[in-house]
Amino acid sequence: MSALPSAAPRLRSHSAIPALALASLGLGLAAIINPGLVSPAGLIGWSTSQLGLWAAVLAQTVVLVGRGIDLSTGAAVSLVNVVAIALFGLGWPLWLVLPTALLTGTVIGLANGLLIAVLKINALLATFAMSFVLLGLSLQIQPAPGGMAPIGAVTMMNGSSLGVPNALVALLALVALWQVLARTRFMLLLRGTGSDPQRAFNSGVPVLRTRLCAYILAGLFCGLSGIFVTLTIGAGDPLIGQPYTLLTIAGAVIGGVALMGGSGSGIGAILGSMFIGITGELALGIGLSPFYQQFIVGTVLLCGLAGVVLLRRSIDRTEDARIALTLSTIRRGEAA
């Protein structure tokens, strides 16, 4: 009997595996087709271009796990970007701009949270409306790309330490941050809320507070993403984050985050968005005209989505069958 408990381990640990496989495969292929990508300069270039997306996908993941969705992620990142650049323009020092930028993201998250958790507006529509407001604010602050971030900080963000690009160091920090988050009581309550809000409420979970926190946390990650974007490109652009909304949702889903809430890991989501990011490199690497790039990326993305969902379903089915078998063994063992 003592062996049985381990036969029924914690589940869903496998949900990020397809994304890991896809991301490694993509990276490997890209490295073969375009060896320049794995050169120090290539790695810096690629990782800095993706860092903002990696932070933003964590924002989307937190919200998705709580059975929400955020269609304002991209607009929030853009707003943080133009706010930071505007403050730099006013002569604010770096140590004051960064917390203010984070605060901006957090306030956006709080606003989303209030609308969705407290005023109970459908998350899809509330964040859709929010994206309009944020876009308008960004355009009002800075109608066209421009401005400059302090050159020192930008150089550092685009540099490397001990041969490792600083953007990858930041990625490691993001991963560590997620791991800490995953161990909090909040995350347990969030998974419960995402699994079934009504039942979670009946179970004594503070559903309202948990959902509110999820959006605030997402805002914080958007703030981080906005800071990364600002420091990697060194300028402001009111439309810079626009593709992020869709890319973060797709990345999270490929990374094994359940759209219906309840489960998902930030690591998987980052791997999923890495796969999306690498597809573009691949299309360029094989020398296709840029006109074909989106079609190729879109088709691969679609196949990736379909593939991951189907793969996950079949893995789940085998896993469920295995668990059912284990459980019936246990049941029989007890009946005897």
Looking at the DSSP assignment, which residues form a beta bridge with residue 161?
164
Report the nearest approach of another protein to the CB of residue 199 (Å).
5
Report the nearest approach of another protein to the CB of residue 182 (Å).
9
Nearer of residues 177 and 309 to another protein, judged by Cβ: 309
Nearer of residues 124 and 173 to another protein, judged by Cβ: 124
Helix H or strand E segment including 107: helix 94-113
Report the nearest approach of another protein to the CB of residue 112 (Å).
11
- Tokens for 137? 């604010």
Neighbours of 26 (CB within 10 A): 20
Report the nearest approach of another protein to the CB of residue 280 (Å).
11
Give the phi and the psi of residue 162 in degrees, each rounded to 5. Answer: 55, 35
Report the nearest approach of another protein to the CB of residue 45 (Å).
23
SS3 assignment, position 160: strand
Nearer of residues 176 and 188 to another protein, judged by Cβ: 188
Nearer of residues 98 and 126 to another protein, judged by Cβ: 126
Nearer of residues 105 and 165 to another protein, judged by Cβ: 105
Give CA separation, 244 vs 72, 95, 119, 129, 292, in Å: 9, 26, 26, 16, 20
Alpha carbon distance 179, 21 (integer Å): 21
Cβ-contact 30, 282 below 8 angstroms: yes
Nearer of residues 105 and 234 to another protein, judged by Cβ: 105
Alpha carbon distance 23, 316 (integer Å): 21
DSSP symbol at 164: E
Report the nearest approach of another protein to the CB of residue 54 (Å).
20
